[in-house]
Amino acid sequence: MHTPPSKMKKSLLILWPLFYFSVANTTTTAHAKQLLEFHQLKISRKYVQEKQDPTSIDGTRPSSYKHPINNPREQDRIISLPGQAEVAEFDQYAGYITVDAKSGRALFYYFAEAPQDSLNKPLVLWLNGGPGCSSFGTGAMLELGPFSVRSDNKTLYKKTHAWNRVANMLFVEIPAGVGYSYSNSTSDYYNIGDQRTTHDAYTFLINWLEKFPEYRDRDFFITGESYAGHYIPELANLIISNNRATNAINVKLKGVAIGNADLDDDVTLRALYDYYWMHAMISGKAYRAIQDKCGFNGTYTKDCQNAMDLAYQEKGNVDDYAIYAPTCHDASNPSKLNDSHVFDNWKDSPNTMLPSIKKLISSGTRIWLYSGDQDAVCSVTSTQYVLNILRLPIETAWRPWRIDNEVAGYVVGYRGLVFVTVRGAGHMVPYYQPQRALQLFSSFLEGKLPPE
C-alpha cells in the first residue's frame, strides 16, 4: 500500500489551464507535458504624473476619486497596454506589492476599475489555482479581464463580458515565482505551499489597501477557480480571524465564489473516473476495475493504479478540462507565465478543505460554488460529492436558471452555501461561457440566485 506517486497526482489533479497567446478561442489541455509555456513576455507601460480624464461612451468619467500627484500608486497607472488600440473607459494599474521586505518578496498585481460608477461598486480579488497558474495571464487576459489577445499575438480586443463591468477587479499572481511575482531570496522558491501563500496573499491585500485607501471601506469579495479552492477558504478565514485583532485593518469581506473547486484530493480523483463513466468515455470493464481496486481513501495499491491507467488510456486524447472542446495541436510563440517549478516544490497542501469550508460557513460569509459541467478534472460530480459530505439543509430546491429563455445551468440553495452549474462550460467557466459567467457573477455580488 502506498500513496499515489507525484507524477500520477500531477497528471490527474494538477489544474493547469493555459493562456494561448497565439490562438484565439483555443482550448486548454489536460496533460502537463502538453502545456505551452510562455517566455519573455514583457509589459510595456506608460506613466503619468497626474490624474487622467478619460471619458466613457456616455460622457461620464469612470472615476471621480482625486489622486494627489505624489500618490505612490501613480507610478503603477497604465495608460495603454501593449497592443491596446482602443481607449479604455476605466482606470487600470499594474505593479508590485512587497509582502516580505527582508527576503525581497513581492507580488505582481493587475487592477481594472469598473468603467461606470466605480466608487459604488465592490472590490473583487481573483485568484487562479494550479498551484502555479497566472492570475494575470490566465485569469485577466484569457478569462474575465477587460482585454484579451487576438490571434496575431500583437493586438488586444475588449471583452464584451468582462467582469469589471460590475466590479473593480484585482488580479494577483501568487505565490512568488508565478507570473511576474518574484523574490530576491532563492530559498523562497523552494519553501512554498498553502500556508506561505495564504499569509502572503493577506499581506498583499493589506499593503495594497494602503496604496488604494479609498477601497478600505468597500465591500470585498474573493473569487477564483480550481486550486483556489485551497487559497480562497484559507485566505477568507485568515481575514475573518485578523479582523478581530486590535488595530488591524478591517477588511469588509462579504463573500467568496469558487469555480470548479479542488476541495478534497480523494473526492476529486474518485469523481474523475465516475465522470468518465457517466459521459461514456471509458468502458464498463475499466470502470468496474476501478470500483473494485480503488478505495479512494488516501492509499492506492498497484492494482488500483493499473486500473486507473487503463481507464486513462481508453479515454484517449480528450481535453479533460473541456471534454467536448477540440484539441489545440498548434500554437506558435508561447510565452511563460504559469510555472511548473512552483508545483514541483509545493510543501504543504491539505488533503481536504472541508474543515475550512465548514468554518467559513459558520462565519456567515456568503459562499458560492459553481461548476462548468464539461470539466472532468474538478467536475460538477466532485462538487456534488462534497455537498453530500457537508449534508447542508436545502433552502431553495434545485431548478434551472436562464438567460434569454435558454437554460444556462442549474442552481440549488443550501443553508450557508449556493451551488450553481454552468451548462456548456469547461474548467475555466468565464472563458467557455462568458455571458453566463458574467450573469452568475453579477447574481453572486447581489446575493440573489441566478434568474429563472
DSSP for 350-392, please give it. Answer: -SB-HHHHHHHHHTT-EEEEEEETT-STT-HHHHHHHHHHHTP
Is residue 1 a part of any domain in this protein? no
- Is pLDDT larger for residue 335 or for residue 410? 410
Within this chain, do residues 81 and 144 fall inside the same structural domain, yes or no?
yes
List pLDDT tens digits, range 347-374: 899 999 999 999 999 999 999 999 999 9
52 falls in which pLDDT band (50, 70, 90)? very low
Within this chain, do residues 301 and 387 fall inside the same structural domain, yes or no?
no
Is residue 451 a part of any domain in this protein? no
What's the length of the chain?
452
27 falls in which pLDDT band (50, 70, 90)? very low
Q: Measure CA 443 to chain center.
A: 18
Burial class (CB in 10 A: 0-12, 13-18, 19+), 249: middle
Domain boundaries, position 289: 282-317
Within this chain, do residues 436 and 297 fall inside the same structural domain, yes or no?
no
pLDDT over 90 for what percent of the chain? 75
Within this chain, do residues 312 and 326 fall inside the same structural domain, yes or no?
no
* Cα four-point dihedral sign 418, 419, 423, 428: positive
Within this chain, do residues 298 and 395 fall inside the same structural domain, yes or no?
no
The x, y and z cell numbers of residue 282, run together, are 471509458
Is residue 275 a part of any domain in this protein? no
The x, y and z cell numbers of residue 135, run together, are 492570475
| Upper half-sphere CA count for residue 237 (Cβ side, 13 Å) | 18
Within this chain, do residues 206 and 307 fall inside the same structural domain, yes or no?
no
Is residue 452 a part of any domain in this protein? no
Instruction: Report the distance separating Cα 261 and Cα 283, nearest Å.
Output: 27
Instruction: Report the distance separating Cα 16 and Cα 58, nearest Å.
Output: 39
Average pLDDT in the 102-110 region? 97
Sheet strands (E) in 272-426? 366-372, 394-403, 406-414, 417-422
Within this chain, do residues 200 and 289 fall inside the same structural domain, yes or no?
no
247 falls in which pLDDT band (50, 70, 90)? confident
Q: Measure CA 93 to chain center.
A: 20
Within this chain, do residues 304 and 192 fall inside the same structural domain, yes or no?
no
Is residue 300 a part of any domain in this protein? yes
CA nearest neighbour of 157 among 215, 212, 81, 270: 81
Is residue 409 a part of any domain in this protein? yes
Average pLDDT in the 6-10 region? 34
What are the start-end ranges of the H helices in 158-227? Answer: 194-211
Q: What is the CATH number of the domain that holds 442?
A: 3.40.50.1820
List pLDDT tens digits, range 259-307: 999 999 999 999 999 999 999 999 999 999 999 999 999 889 999 999 9
Query: Residue 73: its pLDDT value, please?
Result: 81
For residue 372, the tally of other CB atoms under 10 A from its CB is 29
340 falls in which pLDDT band (50, 70, 90)? low
List pLDDT tens digits, range 198-224: 999 999 999 999 999 999 999 999 999
Is residue 277 a part of any domain in this protein? no
pLDDT over 70 for what percent of the chain? 82
Instruction: Report the distance separating Cα 274 and Cα 282, nearest Å.
Output: 10
The x, y and z cell numbers of residue 340, run together, are 511548473
Residue 190 has pLDDT above 70, yes or no: yes
Amino acid letter, residue 191: N
Is residue 153 a part of any domain in this protein? yes
Within this chain, do residues 207 and 304 fall inside the same structural domain, yes or no?
no
The count of domains in the chain is 2
Active site residues per annotation:
226, 375, 427
Within this chain, do residues 189 and 237 fall inside the same structural domain, yes or no?
yes
51 falls in which pLDDT band (50, 70, 90)? very low
Mean pLDDT of the chain: 84
Which range has the worst mean pLDDT, 107-121, 154-168, 314-328, 333-347?
Answer: 333-347
Within this chain, do residues 241 and 298 fall inside the same structural domain, yes or no?
no
Within this chain, do residues 213 and 88 fall inside the same structural domain, yes or no?
yes
Query: Residue 139: its pLDDT value, please?
Result: 96
74 falls in which pLDDT band (50, 70, 90)? confident
Residue 332 has pLDDT above 70, yes or no: no
CA nearest neighbour of 116 among 181, 56, 32: 56
